[in-house]
Structures are given as C-alpha cells and as structure tokens.
Amino acid sequence: MDGTWPQEIIEKAWELGIMNNHIPEEYGGVGASYLEGCLIEEEIAWGCSGIATSIGANGLAAAPLLVGGSEETKKKYLGMLTEAPKLASFCLTEPNAGSDVSGMRTTAVRKGDTYVLNGSKCFITNGGYADWFTVYAKTDKDAGHRGISAFIVEKDDTVTVDKKEDKMGQRASNTATITFNETEVPAENMLGEENKGFKLAMMTLDRTRPGVAAMATGISRAAFEMATEYSKERVQFGVPIAMHQAIQFMIADMATKVHMSRLGTWNSAVLLDQGARNTLESSHAKRYAADSAMEVTTDAVQVFGGYGFIKEYKVEKLMRDAKIMQLYEGTSQIQRLVIARETLLPRRVEEPATA
C-alpha cells in the first residue's frame, strides 16, 4: 500500500519462470500458452494486481516484437529478458493521445541508418526500471494513425524518466512519464513496416487483453472470497449476516460475475492458442471482467460495512486496484466501440491472428 517497488518478488518470479512465460523456448522463455498465462495472472492478481502488473508488463512490451520483429531483434531483446531479471515497457499513450492514438506527437525522423525519436509518453508501466522500450512514434505526421511506426528503443542518456505517478491503486506498480530527447534508434529496430505501427498495436492488444481480463478476475475473486467468509462470521440481529437475503443476493451476484469473467477470459485466450482472431472475444472479456471487478469490489466493501472502509481489511485496496482495470489497455468505453464495430460490421472471412 505504500508504493514500495517489489524488486525481490520480481526477481523470484523471473527465477520461477512465471515472468516472461509468454516468450517461446527458442528465445529462452518457457513458451506458455495464452491460457496458461491467464491462469498465472489470475492467481498473482488474487494476491496483488499491482505486483501482477509489474511482473506481466514485459509481455505487453514484447508482444509487438514477437509479431513484427526480425529474427535478430527477437534474439537480442527477448534474450535480454530471459537471461536476467530485466524489464521492458510499452510506450503508446501520451498526454494528448490516450484512446485517440492518432493524436500522438512523438516523432521518428529517418537519418541514414537510424531514426531519431523525440517526444514524451505517459502512464508507462515499469517505465522507471525498464532496460528497453517498445515505442510508437509518428513517421508521417500528417497521416493520422496511418503514419505511426513502432521501434525497440534501448535505455540511454537521451531517455529520461520525468515523473513517477502517485496512484490511487496498484501502488506496487511503477508508472512513469518517459521522454525521448534526440534518441537515436538503429533502423533495424523498427518493428514491422514503416507507418504500419497502429495495426501492430491493435494486434498486440488483442493478445494482451485476455491477461488484463485475468487480472480483473483475480481481483474480483479475492473480493468475493473475502466477502463470503466475512458474511459467515459477522453476526447482526442475532445471526450471521450471510443468513440475510440481502447479503445472499449480493454474494450470488459476485459469484456469477467472477464465474463469467473467468469463462470469457479463458475463451479469448484459447482462441489465440488455436491461431484464431479474438478481437471481439478479448474485448468482451476485458470489458466485462474489468467492469465486474469494480462492481464486485464495491459490493465487498459494502458487505464489510464500516470495516470495509478502513485499511485494516484488504477489500478497500481491492476496490482501489480494480478501477485501473477499466482504464488501461483500452477503456471500457473503447471496448464497447470495438464490440459494436465487430458486431455490426463482422468480417466475412475469419482472419488468422497474425493478419
């Protein structure tokens, strides 16, 4: 709760192989499936979703590299993560470019065999501790989302950490503003094709949203289990409050939301493991699990009554942690836009996940 950086836990997670579990064996990882990754993320988030975010952020940074990087780039930068407990960060969001990615102002200008990056990225998970960054920048300033490219950028003296955010929840997770000042990046560190970075970002989020949904499910499950146990112990009007129908209905709703969040999450992950496109299903899972986490944790505080509002009990932390699930990796409103688009304008031919 005090925002202490969990370095020892990160090193232990790396040692056990539950960090970087998404990286294929040929690059030093364990090659876990997306479903297996979701099982891990739910369990860790049950304990602390801030630590789960810190441990899992390498997966978000590495996903564009796995999809669009050259073999040499994959070996170098994925190897950095598997050979030592190092961290990487995903740099997409800017102060004026959150849900509207096309509004980004970070630029990448080609100069010979390098690109020169300038600009700032905000809300960057593990930004203060990262050894390299996956950075999205405009290579064509006038082309909107069609002018964005992605790069692997190593930390050097031109990359500065400008601000560590003091957050409401997930306080064990480092969130920072990162600025690139005339940062030179080798041209071979571009991921995919020039000006095709937006598509790469969207493909990345399809792959990582099941993990976010899993974390939201873990938060919900923790709150549900704590509220259930407390309702059996707390006596009011001569009986445990679990005997009152008002509490029973709250517990029942929590149970349903946890159950459906998990099933939606697993479905979206299994589709990826089968090589299928999961855009709609990952948005369903992320939206429902995130909104449910907020609802379940709020109800858990209600079940605890006044005790739920004090830090002696963990449910208030779960409620604070749950809120970010509705915001990062696409807000719940953005998920609804995706769901509406996919529902109203379905693709006639099912595309593979790498399309």
| Cβ neighbours of residue 243 closer than 8 Å, sequence gap 6 or more | none
Residue 246 tokens, joined = 């008002």
Amino acid 1: pLDDT: 57
d(CA 56, CA 118): 27
Indicate yes or no: pTM above 0.85: yes
Amino acid 14: pLDDT: 96
Amino acid 122: pLDDT: 97
Band of residue 354 on the pLDDT scale cut at 50, 70, 90: very low
Domains of the chain: 198-344 (1.20.140.10)
pLDDT in tens, 187-229: 999 999 999 999 999 999 999 999 999 999 999 999 999 999 9
Amino acid 165: pLDDT: 96
pLDDT in tens, 3-54: 789 999 999 999 999 999 999 999 999 999 999 999 999 999 999 999 999 9
pLDDT at 348 over 60: no
Q: Are strands 175-186 and 159-164 parallel, antiparallel or unpaired?
A: antiparallel
CA torsion through residues 89, 98, 121, 323, sign = negative
d(CA 101, CA 181): 21
pLDDT in tens, 270-301: 999 999 999 999 999 999 999 999 999 999 99
Q: Are 311 and 259 in contact (CB under 8 A)?
A: no
d(CA 73, CA 68): 10
The residue among 210, 216, 206 whose CA lies nearest residue 325 is: 216
Out of 41, 182, 329, 351, pick the active-site residue.
Answer: 329
pLDDT at 311 over 50: yes
Amino acid 346: pLDDT: 78
| Cβ neighbours of residue 312 closer than 8 Å, sequence gap 6 or more | none
pLDDT at 355 over 70: no
Band of residue 166 on the pLDDT scale cut at 50, 70, 90: very high
pLDDT in tens, 123-165: 999 999 999 999 999 999 999 999 999 999 999 999 999 989 9
Amino acid 349: pLDDT: 44
pLDDT at 351 over 50: no
Mean pLDDT score across all residues of the chain? 95
Cα 273 to its chain centre, rounded Å, is 18
| Helical H segments across 162-278, by residue range | 197-233, 245-273
State yes or no: is 229 an active-site residue.
no
The residue among 189, 106, 207 whose CA lies nearest residue 147 is: 106
d(CA 267, CA 214): 11
d(CA 49, CA 4): 14
Q: How many residues does this entry show for the chain? A: 355
Give SS3 for 160: strand
pLDDT at 332 over 80: yes
